[in-house]
Structure 1
Amino acid sequence: MSTVPDTTLPSSPAGAAAQDQPTAVEHVLTVDCVESPGIVHAISEFLLQQGCDIIDIKQYGDKAQGHFFMRVHFASAQERQSTGDLRRGFAHVAEKWQMNWQLEPHGRKRRVLVMVSKMGHCLNDLLFRARTGDIPVEIVAVVSNHRDQEGLVQWHGIPFFHVPVTRDTKADAEARLLELVDAFDVELVVLARYMQVLSDELSARLAGKTINIHHSFLPSFKGAKPYHQAYERGVKTVGATAHYVNAELDEGPIISQQVIEVDHTYTADDLVAVGRDAECVALRNAVRWHCEGRILLLGNRTVVLR
């Protein structure tokens, strides 16, 4: 009887060594501060000392304002330092240069609460892209003053909260929203065609972490029915603007804008229809850039490091 030779190869020391290599952990550091010589050197020197490798770096110095902005995507060996270690180490650099800064694991999903009224195209786009991992978010809840989108949200397995709003119940509705923000540990609120104006108090409470999509190319056609306003002016492009919310209606810092060409044959309803695509793209980009740590504020402007 012939025997089958043992073809099992001995384990390779080189292969074992490769398997034992520490896994690279990626982080994103965002910084803004008063512009001054030596900032880039200080940041890169810190990363070098920590044994980190820069993957991507974007920076911008605003000469008119004398302000500096930077986003650094870098990798480090897992066994050498944790996110907490990196934060504690960089805190000394940040203090010296009086920096505003954040240091987060790359790709960390931000906890997002979406608000919507009756129209669901922007909500549907965000739900799909969150589900497929196209944007780094976890949609933890959806709040609406109508029930039109309840079935869609429940299909995605996400909690849906119907919070009606009238002139008499507005304060209670906003209090309920804040309860949900706290209960779900929400990091970003997205107004995906939520057709209610937030109070000054709520806007201030959620400053810097609330994004709205306005269905026009701001600063033109603010307020209600902007597509109908655009139609009356005979525009040749319609657009959408994603911006941070502040106390002034449709005046918050602009993040992303999209436009679509139209002509004299378009009715007001046609403009509404074609504008939906621009709204989805502008809002999607704004949410993505915010959650990837690409947006930094400069007064009522944004610096988007892409």
Structure 2
Amino acid sequence: MTDADADTDGGRPATAATDRQPRLSIAETGELATSVIENTEEVIVGSHDAIEHIVTAMLARGHVLLEDVPGVGKTMLARAIARSFESSFNRVQFTPDLLPSDVTGVNVFNQKTREFEFRSGPIFANVVLGDEINRAPPKTQSALLEAMEEQQVTVDGATHALADPFTVIATQNAVERNRTYELPLAEVDRFMKRLELGYPTPDDESAMLENVVGTHPIETLEPIASLDQLRAARERVAAITVAEPVREYVTRLANHTRERAQLGVSPRGSLSLLRAAQARAALDGREYVVPDDIQHEAVVTLAHRVRPVGESDETGRDVIRAALSSVRVE
């Protein structure tokens, strides 16, 4: 792992790397994803579904929000997946006093050249871990909006391209609500998936304790995929066929949430679901998306975008599950 820099291989201007980027078949793309999942499981025990969801989100050019109680391995999971690629990785610890410039970077006056120079912040990496993102105030959280949507940041009127590929994996403290800030809806909507790890089973916890006695496995975890391979896999996933009936099914699901909830799924959410389903199809070795892919990804991709009506005990997950039960597949 290396610290990110705007002008290194992690950055978008590296056209030479793009020119020699390998082309992957659908089978090779699925094998790559499986290898990364298995490599991550050398460190993280008992979280296969969560690892799978994060890897498919990366293939689908999405970002992931991990929300759960402290100490269940959210940060370690993000680190392990980042280490599985030969990528640049930066961690940002969000705190109440963190400033937007601490994330994006700042212009500094150079006394020798008598000019301002841009010093990039930790957002300039292939994989950025935003740890306890909801501890920072909304102004600082908003520093991620442009980065997550447009893969760039603007500082003092100048736009700077971020790394390619670029993925944000953020963790959120779900317990100390009186010491945290609620994430803005515009930011929540930019996360492709929201995941909860939960507590491990007794057997998984015992295996985890055995693994971390002595040297932690994260210290010896080796990358098994290059950035070129990840870029190629993303291109292959983006080319997977999504037929009109599948697109119409996603539209009907989204409309169902808009009619039933105070805030339904946005068009960005519908697009995220289709992209996640493409990655799911690739993981299964298919050149096309089927309704099962949509149903597999719907809850983790859509539920965090939904706000139920009034004071109801219903959750976003309930709304999405109801939609999956009632909306027809044609």
Query: Structure 2-normalised TM-score?
Result: 0.27
Larger Rg: 1
More helix per residue: 1 or 2?
2
Query: Structure 1-normalised TM-score?
Result: 0.29
More strand per residue: 1 or 2?
1
